[in-house]
């Protein structure tokens, strides 16, 4: 028995030493190598701080081909507050978990007063939760998790994160649709085929992307945004959720009001939930007409210049209460 | 289940612990259940194929024993077993040679098929009593450490051990863990880090210069070695932790001074299988020159084919066969001449030369000259093995010859090279031993330090890209 205890003690001591060695000599290199560009964004914000920190996905930086002004939404917000430092952390296909981990990695000593987090209705649906893009994203997130550094590296080494190939992701989606028999269209092309889609498949794409009901107990995004709310309270940040505009007009034309009602219900659920928690929620869901959306082969939140400006103005209006003197 | 995955890091200690806690009479059942679970982790339905092979060979062996007095009948049962087992292999593995197929190859099919066949053949030869306990026989085929990519065991070794009560011995457990750590290091740190470079070269060889491609070929030789060696070593370690000794699958193959020696050191369990069950029954080397040449070529062509339904594997095996013929033919012809003339000074010289380069006389000048030549030949042939098709192979060789002084150089991870060098040094130092045998002789502090270093390097420096074990596809 004594031998076992001594052995366990030695193993524990070796684990602690290993963690120390790894953290001292290798962690920063690995964090930058495997979590790029997320780790760099966090370090950059940690180094300078910000009055307003905007977290977004591709909707922030995607612009229309005819746009004269290609400014990002976060830059357009910054124009309303020229005396404030507005920084952004933007990564394609981001969702609540990414935002939470980015914010979790912001140093408590870093001076930030307001955080604006993009809230994308589609990201609550299975098509985004099980998207094939998720494997790469999950790999990049591993080193950002608040765990011992060597454990994070072990998770990467042994591929113990949410690693699935495209077929497995599609299976995950299919089993969701089998268990939640909303009018899913199984024949609708997947992400990989999206460039070949024609207008006849668009109704199916809309149904797949918005035809769900948010289950607040089990939806992973609800959990992530709840954690963001708790973190913001802990750090004393003003928190703003920016519910992005969806192409409700086109959804109504293609599918009808069954779907748009569902979209509205889901949005109301999210808006209501987080307003009750004290978060400032900007409800942009129906704020843009179909003409201000860029993509025609998939449903996205990519807006042309005027669309981005409306979203930025709405967010700035919400920020007005925190920075009345700085608003222009 | 993959050896280099988190689930296995839980599976292994649980299986080993429960194995020792259980009384001897229940251990086979536990190991069989664990092995089924291990296999079904990949694709559960394929266990039915394994079960089919097990039932066929178990029954055929019993029938062979029953009709031992009637050679024709026992031979008929042997043939029935071989044909049906190989039919299963053909259906799932070789249809692709003749037409496009979408059947997914059950993992480890070639390995457990050959292990089953060795049992039936040994029973037929009278070297092995048929196993009447269906559970123990199933465990012989399905024993989880070597189920997926070997070593391909013989019944005289494994089946005998499965019948013995293995008491707990601390040394066995320590040696098992050492082997597992060393195997994980070889696979995850050395092989997988090299794979990043190798895959980049093969993805678009025309883009790279000759030097980069040559380096890629050398790296692939070490990648496949460390990959397969890693799996085999982990398998040995898992078995050793429970007191079982599996056969060694590798013995520093790149320290060979001839192709013949290389094949005695590379994938030993497969090459000895072909030797025992094909080469020797065909007459081996105790036949005329032309028959011997035929035997060698048959064995090597089939050995190539065993690796998969692709003509590149057949070509790889065939070329190895030709090289072996080129190596052995002068000796064979001299022996024939000596038989006629009783003495020939040239032949005496040749045989002296052969003995000087035998594995025991290391570091002679001749050995030092031959070693890199053999390594480069093996490396060149591995390009055929690695090539998805002959067209890809030609593109690669074309770029190798044509891109002298032009083309890019992919980034070489310096850490991968350092770990490769460490591995090579250990391979040289342990060429006639095994890692666990060396390690267990050291003082406890050294043992702990070595294990700590291996574990730390595996966790901290393993490749983050996913590279399945290369031999899984066979």
Beta bridge partners of B284: none
B412 token code pair: 């070489």
Q: Which of B102, B112, B133, B307 is catalytic?
A: B307
List the strands of the sheet with A86-90, edge to edge: A86-90, A50-56, A112-119, A238-243, A280-283
Nearest to B386 by CA among B128, B166, B194: B194
Instruction: Look at residue B304 and tell me whether its pLDDT is greater than 90.
Output: yes
A115-119, A222-226, A293-297, A313-317: lowest mean pLDDT where? Answer: A293-297
Name the pairing type of β-strands A238-243 and A112-119: parallel
Of the pLDDT bands very low, low, confident and very high (cuts 50, 70, 90), residue B263 is very high
Tell me the HSE value of A114 on the side-chain side, using a 13 A CA sphere: 23
Query: Does residue B224 contact residue B419 with C-beta atoms inside 8 Å?
Result: no
Please state, for a pLDDT cut of 90, what percent of chain B lies above it.
71
Q: Say which CATH architecture domain A23-326 belongs to.
A: 3-Layer(aba) Sandwich (3.40)
From B463, which residue of chain A is nearest by alpha-carbon distance? A157
Which single residue is written with the structure tokens 């599996």?
B246
Q: Which residues of A touch B455 (CB under 8 A)?
A: 18
Instruction: Look at residue B35 and tell me whether its pLDDT is greater than 80.
Output: yes
Q: pLDDT tens digits, residue range A42-61?
A: 999 999 999 999 999 999 99
Give B5→chain A minimum CA distance, Å. Answer: 5
B211 token code pair: 């030097």
Inter-chain residue contact B5 with A26, CB threshold 8 Å: no
Quick one: pLDDT at residue B422? Answer: 95
Inter-chain residue contact A150 with B459, CB threshold 8 Å: yes
From A26, which residue of chain B is nearest by alpha-carbon distance? B460
Interface mutation vs chain B, best among A157, A167, A171, most B CBs within 10 Å:
A157
From B453, which residue of chain A is nearest by alpha-carbon distance? A18
What is the Cα–Cα distance from B157 to B179, expressed in whole angstroms? 20
Q: Which residues of A touch B458 (CB under 8 A)?
A: 157
Contact residues, B window 4-23, toward A, CB-based 8 Å cutoff: 4-6, 9
Nearest to B151 by CA among B70, B94, B234: B234
Give A28→chain B minimum CA distance, Å. Answer: 12
Inter-chain residue contact A139 with B464, CB threshold 8 Å: yes
Inter-chain residue contact B459 with A154, CB threshold 8 Å: yes
A70 CB neighbour count, 10 Å cutoff: 12
Q: pLDDT tens digits, residue range A235-263?
A: 999 999 999 999 999 999 988 888 899 99
Quick one: pLDDT at residue B362? Answer: 57
Instruction: Look at residue A291 and tell me whether its pLDDT is greater than 70.
Output: yes
Length of chain B (residues): 474
What is the Cα–Cα distance from B32 to A136, expressed in whole angstroms? 37
Q: pLDDT tens digits, residue range B124-182?
A: 999 999 999 999 999 999 999 998 887 999 999 999 999 988 889 999 999 999 999 99
Q: Which residues of A touch B4 (CB under 8 A)?
A: 158-159
H-assigned helices in B170-209: 170-184, 192-203
Higher pLDDT, A184 or B447: B447
- Kindly state whether A154 is in contact with chain B, defined as any CB-CB distance less than 8 angstroms: yes
In chain A, domain spans? 23-326
B175-189, B197-211, B300-314, B353-367: lowest mean pLDDT where? Answer: B353-367
- Kindly state whether A163 is in contact with chain B, defined as any CB-CB distance less than 8 angstroms: yes
Q: Which residues of A touch B464 (CB under 8 A)?
A: 34, 139, 156-157
Nearest to A245 by CA among A284, A207, A206: A284
Query: Does residue A119 contact residue A244 with C-beta atoms inside 8 Å?
Result: yes
Give B104→chain A minimum CA distance, Å. Answer: 14
Quick one: pLDDT at residue A197? Answer: 52
B296 CB neighbour count, 10 Å cutoff: 21
Q: pLDDT tens digits, residue range B385-427?
A: 999 999 999 999 999 988 888 878 888 889 899 999 999 999 9
Instruction: Look at residue A185 and tell me whether its pLDDT is greater than 80.
Output: no
What is the Cα–Cα distance from A263 to A281, expressed in whole angstroms? 16
Read off the pLDDT of each residue in A264-274 and give the average, rounded to a whole number: 96
Q: Which residues of B touch A10 (CB under 8 A)?
A: 448
Residue B466 is nearest to which of A30, A150, A159, comparing CB atoms? Answer: A159
Inter-chain residue contact A18 with B9, CB threshold 8 Å: no
Of the pLDDT bands very low, low, confident and very high (cuts 50, 70, 90), residue B99 is low
Inter-chain residue contact B460 with A139, CB threshold 8 Å: no
Give B152→chain A minimum CA distance, Å. Answer: 26
Quick one: pLDDT at residue B332? Answer: 80
- Kindly state whether B349 is in contact with chain A, defined as any CB-CB distance less than 8 angstroms: no
- Residue A86 CA to chain centroid, in angstroms? 19
- Kindly state whether A153 is in contact with chain B, defined as any CB-CB distance less than 8 angstroms: yes
Quick one: pLDDT at residue A174? Answer: 84
Quick one: pLDDT at residue B355? Answer: 46
Rounded-to-10 torsion of CA A250, A252, A258, A260? 60
Quick one: pLDDT at residue B398? Answer: 92
- Kindly state whether A15 is in contact with chain B, defined as any CB-CB distance less than 8 angstroms: no
- Kindly state whether A160 is in contact with chain B, defined as any CB-CB distance less than 8 angstroms: yes
Read off the pLDDT of each residue in B317-341 and give the average, rounded to a whole number: 86
From A18, which residue of chain B is nearest by alpha-carbon distance? B456
- Kindly state whether A35 is in contact with chain B, defined as any CB-CB distance less than 8 angstroms: no
Quick one: pLDDT at residue A200? Answer: 55
Query: Does residue B324 contact residue B300 with C-beta atoms inside 8 Å?
Result: yes
- Kindly state whether A200 is in contact with chain B, defined as any CB-CB distance less than 8 angstroms: no
What is the Cα–Cα distance from A194 to A174, expressed in whole angstroms? 17
Quick one: pLDDT at residue A258? Answer: 84
- Kindly state whether A208 is in contact with chain B, defined as any CB-CB distance less than 8 angstroms: no
- Kindly state whether B168 is in contact with chain A, defined as any CB-CB distance less than 8 angstroms: no
Of the pLDDT bands very low, low, confident and very high (cuts 50, 70, 90), residue A107 is very high
B267 included as an active-site residue: no
Of the pLDDT bands very low, low, confident and very high (cuts 50, 70, 90), residue A265 is very high
Please state, for a pLDDT cut of 70, what percent of chain A lies above it.
94
Interface mutation vs chain B, best among A16, A18, A158, A162, most B CBs within 10 Å:
A158
Q: Which residues of A touch B456 (CB under 8 A)?
A: 18, 21-22
- Kindly state whether B188 is in contact with chain A, defined as any CB-CB distance less than 8 angstroms: yes
Quick one: pLDDT at residue B235? Answer: 96
Instruction: Look at residue A191 and tell me whether its pLDDT is greater than 50.
Output: no
Instruction: Look at residue B474 and tell me whether its pLDDT is greater than 80.
Output: no
Q: pLDDT tens digits, residue range A163-183?
A: 999 989 988 888 888 887 665
Quick one: pLDDT at residue A195? Answer: 45
Quick one: pLDDT at residue B108? Answer: 85
Inter-chain residue contact B448 with A160, CB threshold 8 Å: no
Instruction: Look at residue A217 and tell me whether its pLDDT is greater than 80.
Output: yes
Higher pLDDT, B78 or B472: B78
Contact residues, B window 21-50, toward A, CB-based 8 Å cutoff: none
What is the Cα–Cα distance from A151 to A160, expressed in whole angstroms? 11
Residue B5 is nearest to which of A18, A30, A158, comparing CB atoms? Answer: A158
Give A27→chain B minimum CA distance, Å. Answer: 9
Inter-chain residue contact B466 with A163, CB threshold 8 Å: yes
Quick one: pLDDT at residue A192? Answer: 45
Sequence-separated (6 or more) residues with CB below 8 Å from residue B53: B85, B88, B112, B113, B116, B141
Q: pLDDT tens digits, residue range B211-226?
A: 999 999 999 999 999 9
Read off the pLDDT of each residue in B181-192 and give the average, rounded to a whole number: 96
Q: What is the DSSP letter of B103?
A: P
What is the Cα–Cα distance from B428 to A157, expressed in whole angstroms? 27
Instruction: Look at residue B348 and tell me whether its pLDDT is greater than 60.
Output: no
Instruction: Look at residue B293 and tell me whether its pLDDT is greater than 70.
Output: yes
Inter-chain residue contact B459 with A159, CB threshold 8 Å: no
Q: How many CB pairs under 8 A join A and B?
A: 42
Quick one: pLDDT at residue B107? Answer: 83
| DSSP notation for B121-175 | HHHHHTSSPPP--HHHHHHHHH-HHHHTT-----HHHHHHHHTS-----HHHHHH
Tell me the HSE value of A115 on the side-chain side, using a 13 A CA sphere: 27
B395 token code pair: 């593109």
Name the pairing type of β-strands A238-243 and A280-283: parallel
Give A156→chain B minimum CA distance, Å. Answer: 6
From B2, which residue of chain A is nearest by alpha-carbon distance? A158
H-assigned helices in A26-95: 27-34, 38-48, 58-61, 73-80
Sequence-separated (6 or more) residues with CB below 8 Å from residue B112: B50, B53, B141, B142, B147
In chain B, domain spans? 6-162, 170-252+405-473
Give B448→chain A minimum CA distance, Å. Answer: 9
Read off the pLDDT of each residue in B455-474 and give the average, rounded to a whole number: 90
Name the pairing type of β-strands A112-119 and A50-56: parallel
What is the Cα–Cα distance from B149 to B130, expressed in whole angstroms? 24
Sequence-separated (6 or more) residues with CB below 8 Å from residue B182: B233, B237, B435, B436, B454
Instruction: Look at residue B353 and tell me whether its pLDDT is greater than 60.
Output: no
- Kindly state whether B411 is in contact with chain A, defined as any CB-CB distance less than 8 angstroms: no
Give A245→chain B minimum CA distance, Å. Answer: 37
Which single residue is written with the structure tokens 């914010």?
A103
């Amino acid at each position: 028995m004594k031998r076992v205890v001594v052995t366990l003690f030695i193993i524990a001591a070796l684990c602690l030493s290993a963690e120390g060695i790894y953290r001292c000599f290798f962690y920063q290199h690995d964090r930058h190598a495997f979590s790029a560009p997320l780790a760099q964004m966090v370090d950059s914000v940690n180094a300078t701080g910000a009055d307003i920190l905007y977290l977004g996905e591709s909707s922030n930086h995607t612009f229309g081909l005819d746009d004269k002004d290609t400014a990002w939404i976060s830059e357009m917000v910054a124009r309303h507050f020229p005396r404030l430092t507005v920084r952004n952390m933007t990564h394609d296909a981001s969702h609540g978990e990414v935002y939470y981990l980015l914010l979790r990695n912001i140093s408590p000593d870093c001076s930030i007063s307001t955080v604006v987090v993009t809230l994308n209705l589609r990201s609550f649906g299975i098509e985004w939760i099980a998207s094939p893009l998720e494997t790469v994203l999950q790999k990049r997130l591993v080193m950002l998790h608040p765990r011992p550094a060597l454990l994070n590296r072990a998770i990467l080494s042994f591929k113990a994160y949410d690693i699935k190939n495209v077929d497995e992701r599609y299976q995950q989606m299919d089993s969701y649709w089998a268990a939640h028999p909303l009018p899913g269209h199984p024949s609708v092309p997947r992400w990989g085929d999206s460039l070949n889609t024609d207008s006849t498949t668009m109704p199916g794409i809309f149904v797949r992307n918005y035809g769900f009901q948010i289950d607040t107990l089990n939806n992973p995004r609800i959990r992530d945004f709840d954690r963001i709310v708790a973190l913001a309270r802990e750090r004393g940040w003003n928190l703003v959720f920016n519910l992005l505009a969806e192409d409700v007009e086109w959804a109504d034309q293609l599918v009808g009001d069954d779907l748009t009602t569902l979209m509205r219900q889901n949005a109301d659920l999210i808006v209501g939930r987080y307003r009750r928690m004290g978060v400032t929620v900007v409800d942009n869901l129906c704020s843009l007409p179909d003409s201000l959306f860029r993509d025609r082969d998939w449903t996205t939140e990519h807006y042309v210049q005027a669309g981005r400006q409306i979203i930025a103005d709405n967010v700035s209006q919400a920020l007005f209460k925190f920075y009345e003197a700085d608003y222009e | 289940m993959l050896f280099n995955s988190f689930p296995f890091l839980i599976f292994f200690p649980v299986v080993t612990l429960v194995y020792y806690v259980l009384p001897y009479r229940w251990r086979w059942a536990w190991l069989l259940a664990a092995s089924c679970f291990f296999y079904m982790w990949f694709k559960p339905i394929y266990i039915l194929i394994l079960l089919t092979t097990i039932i066929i060979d178990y029954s055929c062996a019993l029938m062979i024993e029953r009709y031992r007095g009637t050679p024709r009948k026992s031979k008929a049962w042997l043939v029935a077993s071989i044909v049906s087992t190989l039919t299963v292999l053909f259906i799932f593995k070789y249809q692709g040679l003749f037409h496009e197929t979408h059947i997914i190859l059950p993992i480890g099919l070639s390995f457990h098929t050959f292990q089953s066949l060795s049992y039936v053949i040994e029973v037929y030869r009278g070297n092995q009593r048929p196993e009447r306990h269906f559970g123990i026989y199933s465990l012989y085929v399905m024993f989880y450490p070597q189920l997926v990519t070997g070593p391909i065991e013989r019944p005289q070794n494994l089946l005998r051990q499965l019948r013995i009560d293995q008491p707990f011995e601390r040394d066995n457990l320590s040696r098992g863990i050492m082997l597992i750590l060393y195997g994980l290091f070889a696979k995850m740190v050395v092989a997988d880090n090299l794979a990043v470079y190798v895959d980049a070269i093969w993805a678009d060889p025309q883009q790279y210069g000759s030097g980069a491609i040559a380096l890629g070929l050398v790296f692939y030789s070490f990648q496949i070695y460390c990959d397969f060696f890693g799996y085999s070593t982990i398998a040995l370690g898992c078995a050793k932790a429970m007191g079982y000794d599996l056969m060694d699958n590798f013995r520093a193959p790149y320290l060979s001074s001839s192709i013949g020696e290389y094949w005695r050191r590379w994938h030993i369990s497969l090459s000895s299988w072909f030797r025992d069950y094909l080469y020797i029954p065909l007459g081996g080397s105790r036949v005329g020159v032309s028959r011997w040449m035929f035997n060698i070529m048959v064995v090597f062509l089939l050995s190539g084919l065993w690796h998969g339904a692709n003509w590149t594997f057949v070509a790889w095996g065939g070329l190895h066969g030709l090289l072996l013929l080129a190596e052995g033919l002068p000796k064979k012809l001299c022996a024939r001449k000596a038989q006629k003339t009783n003495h020939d000074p040239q032949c005496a010289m040749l045989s002296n030369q052969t003995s000087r380069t035998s594995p025991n006389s290391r570091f002679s000048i001749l050995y030092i000259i031959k070693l890199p030549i053999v390594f480069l030949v093996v490396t060149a042939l591995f390009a055929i093995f690695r090539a998805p098709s002959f067209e890809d192979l030609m593109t690669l060789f074309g770029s190798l010859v044509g891109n002298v002084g032009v083309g890019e150089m992919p980034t070489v991870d310096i850490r991968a090279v350092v770990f490769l060098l460490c591995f090579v040094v250990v391979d040289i130092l342990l060429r006639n031993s095994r890692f666990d045998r060396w390690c267990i002789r050291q003082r406890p502090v050294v043992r702990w330090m070595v294990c700590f270093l291996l574990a730390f390097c595996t966790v901290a420096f393993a490749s983050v890209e996913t590279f399945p074990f290369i031999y899984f596809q066979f």
